[in-house]
Each structure stands twice: as C-alpha cells, then as structure tokens.
Amino acid sequence: MASGNGSIAQAIIDAALQQNFPAQIVAVVCDQPEARVLVRATTAKIPTFITPLGADRKHWDDEIFATVESLNPDLVVSAGFMRILSPEFVSHFKVINSHPALLPLFPGAHAVADALAAGVSRTGITVHWVDKGVDTGEVIAQQPVEILPNDDVASLHERIKIIERALIVSTIEKIVLSMRKTDA
C-alpha cells in the first residue's frame, strides 16, 4: 500500500525481483490516482488498485478492506501509505509500516520536522506492526540516523529514506521466513 512517489515501494519491488527473495508482491493498493508509485508498479507488471478517499470514510474503509481481502495477502506492507487504516482492517490483516523516526518518539505525519524542531541529535527509522493507534504498534526493527548540523527537513528525510528502504526490505524478508517456519 502506497500513496506517493513510491521510493520505498520501489525498493520492495526491486527486492521481490531477486530470485532469493522469499516474498512476492501481489498488488499495489493506492489512494492517490496520480501517484508515481502506480507507474513504478505498472512498469514492474504488478497489478494496481486505486481507491481514492471520498467524503464517506466508512465506504472507503470498506472498499480498501474488500480490495485487500480479495488479494489474500500473507502480509500487508504500508510503504508510504499516508492513511490511517480502520481498526477492522488492522485486526484482520498482518500489517507493517515504516516510520521516519525512532518510535515511540515523533509519531504521526510530520516526524522528520518534529525531530528537527525538538533539537534531538538523532532520529531514525522504525518498522512496526500496525495496530489501532497511530504509530503505536509493536516495534519490529529500528535504525538510528544522526541529525547533522546543516540538516533541514528535506535533507534529513532523504537520508532517512535511504536507511528506510533497506530496513523495510530486510524486515519483510525476516517476517516472511518466520511465517514459513511457523506454517511448517
């Protein structure tokens, strides 16, 4: 699931194309019809589903749930998906998210700016299970990123994204391999 440019999704796509990667991408679900991630998915011959958020949030929640349920995924990856998923969704599916901060610090949509405003010396990336809260799920993996004296939101976020792409891919791999052991 993605909403924007798709650089995180592209890292996952690239990994999934490698022979030794233990997972495959069944689809990309997006809420933004003009998002670049849709081009990335189409180029990789991955089916896409677009469900824009309309005035009726409950209808959107139901549509997203039905779309993902029809795909029958073992794991749902929020890769820059900028919507809060319904409690029913996160209770039904195994969902992970990457977040550009060392949770529980700086939850929410403005984590990079919040870290800079707080004057901390480091922030980072967290991959976590998605629960009914906002960035409150159990942490799966984290990696710190030092904040440099000349960092602004754009430069810091770009350095975080580099780490984020690698961490989400390695975390997916570990989760999928763990799921296989559990199923065996």
Residues annotated catalytic, as ranges: 99
CB 75 within 8 A of CB 179: yes
Four-CA torsion 61, 88, 66, 100, nearest 10 degrees: 70
> In one letter, which amino acid is 114?
D
CA 90 from chain center: how many Å? Answer: 13
CB 44 within 8 A of CB 38: no
3-class secondary-structure state, position 171: helix
> In one letter, which amino acid is 136?
T
CA angle 141, 48, 5 (to 5 degrees): 55
CA angle 34, 136, 72 (to 5 degrees): 55
Q: How far apart are CA 180 and CA 182, in angstroms?
A: 5
